[in-house]
Chains A and B, each alone.
Chain A
Amino acid sequence: MTRLLRLSVLPGLAACLLALAGTAVSAEEHKKPAAVTEISKDMVQVPKPPFTEGIFPCSMCHDPKAMPPNTKRRVLKDMHTEISLHHGPDSRWCLDCHDAYNRDNLHLANGKLVSFNTSYQLCGQCHGDKLRDWRVGVHGKRTGSWNGEKQYLLCVHCHNPHSPHFKPLKPMPPPTRPEAIQIKNGGAK
């Protein structure tokens, strides 16, 4: 129930905040390289987010002076046309998660900036149960040591944030049927 509420409130909230964003967010906050402050100490850092090559930092193109942000809700026609958003309600759009004035960051529903390296905070706003499981190592893949250092992955390593449903895979070959095993030199080779 709360999740549903949040979902519906989120775009509205974000829109309000966008108007304020320029002033509301402290400049220092997003300058800090977002280390893994959120996760408890024994968890290790997450690998870099899987950006398409040459796309980050976003501010390379999104220079606020050369290209003032257009906060009008619309379907993008000129750039980023390869992204089709299949995530949540139809009304959701880019600037609900991406920050219009701090392009190299994302923002939470309350306007707090979040680096791409800790994007799980953003995902966890709606998917709180998954975030909880992820923290304890039950949602998502772990590699490394069962009794020591573990490597975590960000949500976006497995789920495309614009289309998060896990994509089908080609299965690896099935076992050989017993009758198909070749007998060679008086025994199975």
Chain B
Amino acid sequence: MDQDACQPTPGAPCPSGENNGRREFLGAAVAAVATALTGCGTLSKEEFLQHNFRELSKEEVLTVIERLEKEYKEKFGREVKVANTPPMPGVMFGYALDLSRCIGCRRCVHACVKENNQSRDPEIQWIRVLEMDKEEGVDLQHAEQYYNPAEVPREGHFYMPVQCQQCKKPPCVKVCPVGATWREKDGIVVVDYNWCIGCRYCMAACPYGARHFNWGDPHLPSKDVNPDTHYLGNRPRPKGVVEKCTFCVQRTRKGRYTACVEVCPTGSRKFGNLLDKESEIRYVLENKRVFKFKEDLNTQPNFFYFYGV
């Protein structure tokens, strides 16, 4: 390509006299346009020209990851690993939450923030715990997310944490005008933060309030950075993109439990492979009373609520 870029044609000698002149000129021009379009000078030429993650070749992915790791190192002053672990074959992730045990202590909410590099100020939280009336049952008219008593559980209440339900028919994916979000083979709905244009259609479409927008530059102090990241998961996000729970893709694709499962003091959270007959999640689905949240919307979640007692 480089030689072609400056092939002298009769009557039109290479203007710069160097063999990469036009290429450099185009690059600079594109960068200038990018700067003008985005209104900020932070977007590099490579980033501006980067394609949708699903269209990248293996080599291109590696180049992108290398660039990101360099950027993060400059920004945070420490090594941040960006993984690209693909889905495991024969795995469909499922999650079950025991409503009879959750006490609403919000340990999961904060463990998630720590694990997934969310903005700290204002703090973005992927899990929202709803305090509900036992008398009313699961009824969003009687749900409170800002509860803050001295001790939980409060008399007469139960607690229902809500996060991304990893739907089989995700409305958020359906509405994305640019294809920046999709469902992976293991059932995780992911976002390509470099392809997201920040239109927030997905947030409007999601019936669970599971998507969150970076209105400002995510404020993530470097001491708080979790350096074990995944491209489609918890790598530090730029301003103006949408983010969501990914079942801790950086952990679960390596076989580990999610952060929220591991921190829950009551053991309310169960996670595993829906295709594995021996898994905990299958035991729950086959032996406990299970329901899906807003089942009538036909989003077909892979996230289940159950009563363990």
Which residues of chain A have a CB within 8 Å of any CB of chain B?
133, 136-148, 158, 166, 168-177, 181-182, 187-189
Shortest distance in angstroms between A97's beta carbon and chain B's nearest beta carbon? Answer: 23
Q: How far is the CA of A169 from the CA of B256 in the complex (A)?
A: 27
Flag if B283 contacts A136 (CB, 8 Å). yes
Flag if A146 contacts B272 (CB, 8 Å). yes
Q: How far is the CA of A173 from the CA of B219 in the complex (A)?
A: 18
A138-B280, A144-B256, A158-B266 provided; 9 other pairs, C-beta below 8 A? Answer: A139-B308, A140-B267, A143-B262, A146-B252, A168-B103, A171-B105, A171-B106, A173-B106, A174-B146
Flag if A188 contacts B266 (CB, 8 Å). no
**In the complex with contacts A138-B284, A145-B255, A166-B103, A171-B149 CB distance below 8 A:** yes
Which residues of chain B have a CB within 8 Å of any CB of chain A?
91, 103-107, 109-110, 121-123, 125, 128, 145-153, 215-217, 219, 252, 255-257, 261-262, 264-267, 270-273, 276, 279-280, 283-284, 287-288, 308
Nearest CB in chain B to that of A149: its residue: B255
Shortest distance in angstroms between B26's beta carbon and chain A's nearest beta carbon? Answer: 33
In the bound complex, residues from chain A placing their C-beta under 8 Å from that of B122 are 176, 181-182, 188-189
- Shortest beta-carbon contacts, A-B, top 4: A141-B267, A188-B216, A168-B151, A172-B106
The 20 listed contacts between A and B (C-beta, < 8 Å) are A138-B283, A138-B308, A139-B267, A140-B267, A141-B267, A142-B280, A146-B252, A146-B257, A148-B255, A166-B266, A168-B103, A168-B153, A171-B106, A171-B151, A174-B147, A174-B148, A175-B146, A187-B217, A188-B122, A188-B216
B104, B107, B151, B215: the one contacting A187 at CB < 8 Å is B215
Flag if B257 contacts A145 (CB, 8 Å). yes
Nearest CB in chain A to that of B128: its residue: A175
Nearest CB in chain A to that of B284: its residue: A138
Shortest distance in angstroms between A179's beta carbon and chain B's nearest beta carbon? Answer: 11
Flag if B215 contacts A172 (CB, 8 Å). no
